[in-house]
Amino acid sequence: MRPTLSWTPTEDLPPGTTDLEPVAEALSAGGVLVLSGAGLSTESGIPDYRGEGGSLSRHTPMTYQDFVSGARARRRYWARSHLGWRTFGRARPNAGHRVVAAFGRHGSLLGVITQNVDGLHQAAGSEDVVELHGSLDRVVCLSCGVFSPRRELARRLEEANAGFEPVAAGINPDGDADLTDEQVGDFRVVPCSHCGGILKPDVVFFGEAVPPRRVEHCRELVREATSLLVLGSSLTVMSGLRFVRQAAQAGKPVLIVNRDPTRGDQHALTRVALPLGAALTAVADRLNVPVDGRAPA
């Protein structure tokens, strides 16, 4: 299964707006469920997949089928991911993450479902975050199922690959750095320290299904929410779009903040086409919600 690179609207979609009032009204009412995507983390230096200059224009993420197909594919993945982790792990929450956390503390949110694997919602202080696609901060063994911290694996890979310092052409939303086969070279992959099995980041690869219990938990959150606020997602893949469709079918308002059109626009009350950090900060100021101790303007 190759990743979905784009989608073509089958009908005319309403244009984006700059009116933040519907978003402010929903957050003022409370019970909002946030669904966030890669666009929320671009202001932290992590590119998105499909926006302008998105990584899919130059990079095809590894699928689960490729990863388990052989040692060569895993060597390529872990060399690129190990190098990317050095940059990815240094990313810090931006204004958008901080405002989401502030609305959580304010009691406006039911919770957060994120398609991102960067942990920046939690780093900003958000609680009740469902990591739909997992987290790069954890590693799982495909044989014994034991989880371990990514920092532990990073240390072991550093020891096994002393002097591995290639210069990457770019970093991608999944933490994968752009390296040539020559740069990957004879990179050494280390096995599970418990059983010697194959290690995999605890993320949902393309071609891999989100665990059913996690999906059902998200569906339950949608059922409990008063509205769904989508932040920075093109909704191109069904992984997130299904929750938009569920909310719309239940008659719950769907509000989207994304600069580009999305696959969920036809189900939305509005799509605000503004930069996320500035837009969310403006809503927080309008509702007098302090962000990181900063008094509203």
Q: Report yes or no: 192 and 102 within 8 Å, Cβ to Cβ.
A: no
* pLDDT confidence of residue 257: 98
What is the SS3 assignment for 269?
coil
* Whether residue 109 has pLDDT greater than 90: yes
> Is the model more confident about 51 or about 108?
108
**Which class in CATH covers the domain with range 59-90+136-203?**
alpha beta
Cα(263)–Cα(233) distance, integer angstroms: 9
Residue 88's pLDDT band, with cuts at 50, 70 and 90, is confident
Q: Which of 59, 82, 121, 133 is catalytic?
A: 133
* pLDDT confidence of residue 297: 55
- Mean pLDDT score across all residues of the chain: 89
- Give the annotated binding-site residues: 37-57, 115-118, 141, 144, 192, 195, 232-234, 276
State yes or no: is 133 an active-site residue. Answer: yes
Domain boundaries, given as residue ranges, for the chain = 18-46+93-133+210-297, 59-90+136-203
* pLDDT confidence of residue 65: 93
Which residues on neighbouring strands pair with residue 228, listed in sequence order? 33, 254
- Give the annotated binding-site residues for NAD(+): 37-57, 115-118, 232-234, 276
User: Could you tell me the CATH superfamily of domain 18-46+93-133+210-297?
Assistant: TPP-binding domain (3.40.50.1220)
Instruction: Locate the DSSP E strands across the chain.
Output: 32-36, 109-114, 129-131, 134-141, 147-149, 199-203, 227-231, 254-257, 270-272
Which secondary-structure segment (H or E) carries 44? Answer: none
Look up residue 260 and give its amino acid.
Answer: D
Cα(262)–Cα(232) distance, integer angstroms: 10
Over residues 125-176, the pLDDT tens digits come to: 999 999 999 999 999 999 999 999 999 999 999 999 998 888 776 677 677 7
pLDDT mean over 194-208 = 94
Cα(110)–Cα(180) distance, integer angstroms: 44
Structure tokens at 262: 């999305």
- Give the annotated binding-site residues for Zn(2+): 141, 144, 192, 195
> Is the model more confident about 229 or about 179?
229
pLDDT mean over 79-104 = 91
User: Model pTM?
Assistant: 0.89
